[in-house]
Amino acid sequence: MALDTSGFVPKGNLNTDETALGRSGRRSTLIKVLGRLSGFRFPILMSLLMAVLSVVFTLLVPIYIGRVIDCISTGSGPEPIRDNLMRAAVSAVIVGVSTYIMNLINNRVTYLTVRDIRNEAIRTIDTLPLKYIDSHSQGDIVSRVIADADQFADGLLMGFTQAFTGIMTIIGTLVFMLRMNVAITLVVVCVTPLSLFIARFISSRTYRMFRDQSIERGAQTSVIDEMIGNAKVVKAFNKEQDVLARFDEINERLEKASLKAIFYSSLTNPCTRFVNAVCYALVALTGSYFAILALGGDSSRLTSGITVGTLTVFLSYANQYTKPFNEISSVISELQGAIACAARVFEIIEETPETPDTDGRTLEDISGRVDIDDVDFSYVPERELITDLSLHVEPGQRVAIVGPTGCGKTTIINLLMRFYDVDRGAICVDGEDIRGVTRSSLRSSYGMVLQDTWLAGGTIADNIRFGCPQATMDEVTEAAKATGAHSFIRRLPLRYDTVIGEGGTELSQGQKQLLCVTRVMLHIPPMLILDEATSSIDTRTEMRIQKSFRDMMTGRTSFIVAHRLSTVREADVILVMRDGAIIEQGDHDTLLARGGFYSELYNSQF
Amino acid sequence: MKRLLRYLKNYKIQCVLAPLFKMLEALFELFVPLVIAALIDRISDYSASGDAGFVVRCFILLIILGVVGLISSCTAQFFAARAATGFSKELRHDLFATLLDLDYPQIDGLGTSTMITRMTADVNTAQNGVNMFLRLFLRSPFIVAGAVVMAFTIDVRSALIFVAVVAVLFVTVGLIMRYNIPMLKRVQSKLDKVLDFTRENLSGARVIRAFNVESDRQAGFEAANEVLSQDQRRAGRISGLLNPLTYVIINLAIVMLIGVGNIQVAQGRLTTGQVVALYNYMSQILLELIKFANLVVTINRALASANRISEVFGLEEGPAANATGQPAARGDEASARTDSASEASEWAVEFDDVSLRYHEGSDEALSNISFKVKRGETIGVIGGTGSGKTSLINMIPGFYTATSGTVKVDGEDVKCVDAHELRSRIGIVPQKAVLFDGTIAENLRWGNASATDSELEEAVRMAVAMDVVEAKGGLDAHIEPGGKNLSGGQRQRLTIARALVKKPDILILDDSSSALDNVTDRRLRENIRRMDPGTTVFIVSQRSSSVRDADRIIVMDDGVMAGIGTHAELMESCAVYREIYESQFGREEG
């Protein structure tokens, strides 16, 4: 399992490979995003309308103020001043209200979309073939559902709000400025994009520095991981100083790389601000010059309509116009990031689920006969694992599967439970091919205890009740007593209400395994699978729970995979597996007498 | 938080210069409206029409202000970056040193992934906080205050509007933040829930499907997701207020300002240019206030990270006062006593009525353990999982210190001996076979940095690991982090060799042959028996076969010693030992 992400969810993958996604991939993702948003057509339309409203009135405010200033400078009467001030005030309020409405709508659209995407993702995850889950990093899938979906939300919200209003502002300002004076507008139009170029220039130069920084950071993280994860060994060998020295060496390099990256990238703001200052100064220069000319009686087209008021409007527009320009690169990268993140989430959602249960017959009241006929199976086509496996188990038989690691023991369990489908041949329960019955009825015919002691976050009681939520507290306690789990649960601070898992009480491996056994006890189906069910429990405790296992297995078909041969001796049939095939079959005494691989395995224990 | 401030100690100059230059930049920005005011007044003044020279001078002044602003701002960015990265470097160093300094009980309670998060993500956030703080924290208030001051120099009555507006804005922004920040925290914790759920559905896929509870799990996820989504929307409704509200307040203030200004101009107390200047100052306040609000969010995040980081430092000072680090004075005293004691004591290890409790108030992990081990003896330790075997042997190098009773090594109480010196005499092979990134030789030299190649080879041979070294291509073969390119059994044998390189007086094998097949295990035990007869050996195991040949066997059961003696004696007298034996070999073969 990859790095634990409970405390720290990396904010998406900033280094999402742009090229890997590709232009066409980006477009198809965009179409999918739009498709998801189509349910919100009306709110989005409203939001756009509000954006237009807010931009237009934002641009009107300086114009009204400019008129007032004209009136002041020419000393005209109080009425036009009052009217224009009223207009400015009303416009400002309209801007405020429409912006807020827009924020509310975007907020709602974004979070509802992300909620639905997450729900869809989890639905897919619960129906993904185990093959997919086994072969993909869980950390990666989790980060797609959490971090990527989150960054998608952020990017969508920001993109929604800023890209649209930004473009509207640029267009609106241009139109308003052109109507006032073409020459000054040209000055603004020519100078402002400079800031965009500078920002681009700096970010392309700093890209390498940020990459260097993340390389050093990665190196440092792996040292931390290695050394803190094994702090006990470090201490046992008195190596603290050496390890620290190695850490410091990387730390030093990281500091240098960080300083470069941070400093050079932080030049963007001062530089664009400088460009803006130049633009502002140029507007002041040309505007004042024209105003002087206009006041001096010149009425050429160049200077038409230039007054003190229009000059202030231009100055304030010069500021407003540059803002979306300065933000545009961050908005674009945010949007690109959001699309890349969306693509990663969609990849999960669109993953092919398990083949659906076809005609969906349900297994009911089964006797527990299992037939495996000529089964071939492999995880990867190039490496065959199980070939020509045949096995016929009568109801109530106890089947033990033994053999060295990697011989395919657990694979048989995967096939029996239909976590994986066979490549060839068939597995039948009570004569029914398991591919013809519903997965849920097949799986609920088996009680399963796996080597992997997975427990859900929650209380002990919740976990024991996992497959049988309606069980009473008495039944829970009864089951725990039967497996001996009761004795350790009794000693926990809140007994059956003790919360385990993330942030809760840590249980030992053996205790977890006892709980897994108890979980099955509560509701025992006609067939049992015990895959190394007691591997983490010491032999003495194991002996004690053997009795309850024996009771459990009476009259039930059971499959027992075990490492320790002492636990399989009592089985009716022992299958000895090697390299995906059954090489010996029989009960303990026959196999031992035969003097084959089993007796070799058995005797090597001593 | 205060703890972390000392990491800025070496960057005092930068911490002063960065804000100073930022203030300088702000100061130049504050001059701009004055220039514009002069310009406008000159234009409005009909008599001066045609004074193009003045306009050009103003232009040049504006450009100069821009250039000076650029230079001081870049300087400030440099000092801020320098201080921030230096801060995080020293912080990381100390964090790492602290983590390496923790003793076993503290390591037990430590989540590795949490620590990595603290050292990477949290330190980065803190670094960013320092950087932003140095850059903006003085600039924004300075511009706001500067604008107010400038307003006062222009016109007192208008300036009062400024004061009122700034007050209203502060209250507004403050209120929004106060409601919003806790909401964002709640959102984060809800997100963590959704994350846990997702992870569980993946890691528990088999169990979930085996028990057919997919629909329950989905319902649970959707409920958690809905709560998250609701909280997000609720938080968004508040934070979405910030921009529109401040905009409206500022613009209404501008309207008022100009309304009042108009009367003043009519009365001849103000010029048009000055009114425009007031207008510009008000606009500047708006911009800076928004920046300031964002800064507060950044700082808040940085503070949360700083608190999490401080918790790590808190570990060190934590209640586990039975830490292994010894006061220097006691170390001297101890070494002085060593000479006499080691001669006197024939016992390599003595436990005298030792009890161990990991945490205040928890049950005892070990109770009233007493035994003595002669130098050169081989001692087996056996017992079920959780019976206290590992706790017992970890007390010998002083990794855990006795809650009551005394543990002595070579006749010396381990509490009074220098921990480093003590550990240099003890070779321990931990349960978890870990190797580190580097060559095989580098890994083996953890035991003894000055060991020669032939010494390494000898240790490898004793650990029955020669085939591992050969298979990998010699002592200089590379080992991946965690020893990932080796099998469990190969790793175990190399960790044994690593301990043997040390040529320890006491060798402790903590269940370290569990991944070995029986033949290799037997050869290993034979080699160890042939070692220097002065070496005291502890073999911890769950397997009866591994300890059967030991000189004496300690039987642990639920934290108490159920028996000590030879195999034959224990089979006779110790029920627990007999049970363990029989569970593995069966009664009839006993």
Q: Is the pLDDT reported for residue A300 higher than 70?
A: no
Block residue for tokens 């509490």: B415
Considering only CB atoms, A89 lies closest to which of B49, B211, B255, namely B255
pLDDT at B334: 43
**A173 & A54 share domain:** yes
CA nearest A133 in B: which residue? B202
Q: Distance between CA A385 and CA B375 in Å, rounded?
A: 52
Question: What are the helix (H) ranges across B204-271?
Answer: 205-210, 214-239, 242-266
Same domain, A513 and A412: yes
Which of these, A200, A179, A177, lies nearest to A187 by C-alpha position? A177
What is the average per-residue pLDDT within A336-363? 77
Which residues contact residue A60 at a Cβ distance below 8 angstroms, ignoring those fewer than 6 apart? A87, A88, A91
B412, B441 Cβ separation under 8 angstroms: no
Assess contact for B500 and B527: CB atoms under 8 A.
no
Q: Collect all residues of chain B within an 8 Å Cβ-Cβ radius of residue A252.
A: 89
Q: Is A90 on the interface with B (CB under 8 A)?
A: no
A234 in any annotated domain: no
The whole-angstrom distance between A360's CA and the closest CA on chain B is 15
Residue A191 lies in a domain: no
Interface test with B, best of A11, A61, A63, A115 (most B CBs within 10 A): A115
Q: Are B180 and B238 in contact (CB under 8 A)?
A: yes
In a domain, A490, yes or no: yes
Beta bridge partners of B536: B506
What domains does chain B contain, in order, with CATH numbers?
A: 2-155+270-317 (1.20.1560.10), 374-400+414-585 (3.40.50.300)
Does any domain span residue A389? Answer: yes
Minimal CA–CA distance to B303: which of B569, B125, B116, B432?
B125
Q: Are residues A348 and A458 in the same domain?
A: no
Strands (E), A470-535: 499-500, 527-531
Nearest CA in chain A to B247: A96
Residue A26 inside a domain? The answer is yes
Of A78, A138, A270, which has the smallest distance from its Cβ to B199's Cβ?
A138
Could you list the residue range(s) of the whole structural domain that residue A132 is in?
19-179+328-354
C-alpha distance from A175 to closest chain B C-alpha (Å): 23
Q: A128, A539, A570: best mutation site toward chain B, by most B Cβ within 10 Å? A: A539
| Residues A343 and A427 occupy one common structural domain | no
Closest-CA distance of chain A to residue B533, Å: 23
A296/B50 touch (CB, cutoff 8 Å), yes or no? yes
Q: How far apart are the two ends of chain A, measured CA to CA in Å?
A: 35
CA torsion sign for B241, B243, B249, B255 is negative
Domain count of the fold of chain A: 2
In this structure, the answer to whether residues A464 and A340 fall within a common structural domain is: no
Inter-chain residue contact A539 with B519, CB threshold 8 Å: no
| Contact: A285, B585; criterion CB under 8 Å | no
Q: Whole-angstrom Cα distance, residue A496 to residue A89?
A: 65
Distant-in-sequence, close-in-space partners of B531: CB < 8 Å, separation ≥ 6: B462, B507, B537
Helices B123-132, B272-317: crossing angle, 10 deg rounding:
150
Find which of B56, B57, B113 to mutate to test the A interface (most A CBs within 10 Å of its CB). Answer: B113
Looking at residue A57, its pLDDT comes to 92
Please enumerate in sequence order all residues whose Cβ is within 8 A of that of A357, keeping only pairs 6 or more positions apart, or say none: A437, A438, A439, A440
Ranges A233-247, A490-504, A517-531, B245-259: which has the least confidence:
A490-504
Cβ–Cβ below 8 Å for B245 and A606: no
SS3 state of residue A432: strand
- Helix (H) or strand (E) holding A112, with range, is helix A78-127
Asked, for residue A211, whether it belongs to a domain, the answer is: no
A332 and A465 part of one domain: no
The closest CB to that of A285, out of B59, B65, B210, belongs to: B59
The dihedral of CA A503, A508, A513, A518: what is its sign? negative
Query: Mean pLDDT, chain A, as a whole number?
Result: 78
Q: For residue B184, which residues of chain A lie inside 8 Å, CB to CB?
A: none
Spatial strand order of the sheet with B378-383 comes to: B426-429, B506-510, B536-541, B378-383, B552-557, B560-565
Q: What is the pLDDT of residue A252?
A: 92
- Picking from A345, A140, A138, the residue whose alpha carbon sits closest to that of residue B201 is A138
pLDDT score of B332: 44
Q: Which of the listed ranges A348-362, A373-387, B355-369, B522-536 does the model predict with the highest average pLDDT?
A: B522-536
Q: What share of chain B is helix, strand, coil (3-state, %, to 5)?
A: 70, 10, 20
Give which of A181, A14, B59 is closest to A189, Cα–Cα.
A181
Q: Which residue has the tokens 């009740």?
A: A465
Per the CB < 8 A criterion, the answer to whether B397 and B422 are in contact is: yes
Residue A111 lies in a domain: yes
Counting every residue written for chain B, the total comes to 590
Which residues from A are below 8 Å from B245, CB to CB? 96, 100
pLDDT digits (tens, 9 = 90+) for A410-443: 788 888 888 888 888 888 887 777 777 887 777 8
φ/ψ of residue B477, rounded to 5: -65, 150
Tell me the per-residue pLDDT of A496-507, one tens digit each, with 9 for 90 and over.
Answer: 877 776 555 667
Angle at A413 between CA A409 and CA A418, to 5 degrees: 145
| Residues listed for chain A | 606
Whether residue A344 is found in the same domain as residue A464: no
- Per the CB < 8 A criterion, the answer to whether B202 and A141 are in contact is yes
pLDDT at A560 over 70: yes
B437 SS3 class:
coil
* B41 closest CA partner among A543, A223, A288, A55: A288
**Amino acid in the structure at residue B18:** A
Please, are residues B371 and B351 in contact by the beta-carbon 8 Å criterion?
yes
Tell me, what's the pLDDT at B587?
A: 52
Q: Which residue of B has its CA nearest to A92?
A: B248
A463 and A504 part of one domain: yes
Q: Are residues A400 and A518 in the same domain?
A: yes
Distance from CA of A581 to the nearest CA of B (A): 22
Cα B92 from Cα B79, distance rounded (Å): 20
Q: What is the largest CA-CA distance in chain A?
A: 122
DSSP A437: B
Is position A542 within any domain? Answer: yes
**From B59, B73, B385, residue closest to A284, measured CB to CB:** B59
- What is the full per-residue pLDDT of chain B (590 aa) written as tens digits? 667 888 888 888 888 888 889 888 888 888 888 888 888 887 776 555 557 788 888 889 999 999 999 999 899 989 999 999 999 899 989 888 888 888 777 776 666 667 777 787 788 888 888 888 888 877 888 888 888 888 888 888 888 888 898 889 889 888 888 888 788 888 878 888 888 888 788 877 778 777 777 788 888 888 988 998 899 888 888 888 888 888 899 889 888 888 888 888 878 788 888 888 888 888 888 778 777 777 877 787 788 888 888 887 877 654 443 444 444 334 444 444 444 444 556 788 888 888 888 766 666 778 888 898 888 888 999 887 767 888 888 888 888 888 888 888 888 888 888 888 888 888 888 877 788 888 888 888 888 888 888 888 888 888 888 888 887 888 888 887 777 777 777 888 888 888 888 888 899 988 877 767 767 778 888 888 888 788 899 988 877 888 888 889 999 887 888 888 888 888 888 888 888 887 776 654 43
CA distance A185 to A170: 12
Query: Distances in Å between the alpha carbon of A43 and those of A30, A165, A388?
Result: 19, 16, 61
Whether B449 and A241 have beta carbons less than 8 Å apart is answered as no
Say if CB B570 and CB B553 are below 8 A apart. yes
8 A C-beta contact, residue A314 and residue A177: yes
Q: What is the mean predicted confidence (pLDDT) over A388-403?
A: 81
Q: Quick one: tokens of B570?
A: 């224990």
Cβ distance A232 to B583 less than 8 Å, yes or no, reads: no
What are the residues whose beta carbons fall under 8 Å from the beta carbon of A273, sequence distance 6 or more?
A: B69, B70, B73
Q: Least CA distance to A564: which residue of chain B?
A: B584
Burial label for B287, CB within 10 Å (0-12, 13-18, 19+), is middle
The amino acid occupying position B197 is F
CATH number of the domain at A116, please.
Answer: 1.20.1560.10
A42–B contact, CB cutoff 8 A: no
Q: In the block, which residue shows the tokens 């960790």?
A: B495
ipTM for the predicted complex comes to: 0.78
Per DSSP, the residues of B2-44 read HHHHGGGGGGHHHHHHHHHHHHHHHHHHHHHHHHHHHHHHHHH
Mention every residue, 6+ apart, whose C-beta is less than 8 A from residue B24: B68, B72, B76
Whether B43 and A308 lie within 8 Å, measured CB to CB:
yes
Q: What is the pLDDT of residue A311?
A: 83
Residues A133 and A97 grouped into a single domain: yes
Q: Confidence class of residue A13 from pLDDT cuts 50, 70 and 90?
A: very low
Q: Please report the pLDDT score of residue B134 as a whole number.
A: 86
Are A397 and A344 members of one domain?
Answer: no
- Specify whether A598 is located in the same domain as A504: yes
Cβ contact, residue pair A270, B265, below 8 Å: no
**Phi and psi, residue A37, nearest 5°:** -80, -10
CA B252, CA B258: separation in Å to the nearest integer? 10
Q: Which of A146, A243, A274 sits opposite B194 (nearest CB)?
A: A146
pLDDT of residue B341: 45
The region, left, alpha or beta by phi > 0 then psi within -120 to 50, assigned to residue B483 is left
pLDDT band at residue A93 under the 50/70/90 scheme:
very high
Chain CA centroid to CA A149, Å: 7
Q: B584 contacts in A (CB within 8 Å)?
A: 539, 566, 605
Nearest chain A residue to B125 by CA distance is A8
How far is B60 from A281, CA to CA, in rounded Å? 8
**DSSP states of B255-279:** HHHHHHHHHHHHTTSS-HHHHHHHH
Residue B384: which of A3, A440, A541 has the nearest Cβ?
A541
CATH number of the domain encompassing residue A475: 3.40.50.300
Cβ–Cβ contact A443 with B under 8 A? yes
Q: Are A97 and B197 in contact (CB < 8 Å)?
A: no
Nearest CB to A281; choose among B59, B73, B131: B59
Find the farthest-apart pair of alpha carbons in chain B and give their distance in angstroms, rounded.
124
Residue with tokens 């691989």: A597
Residue A593: which pLDDT band, with cuts at 50, 70 and 90? confident
Instruction: Enumerate the residues of chain A whose CB falls inside 8 A of the CB of residue B212.
Output: 440, 443-444, 467
Q: A456 — contact with chain B (CB < 8 Å)? A: yes
CB pairs under 8 A between A and B: 430
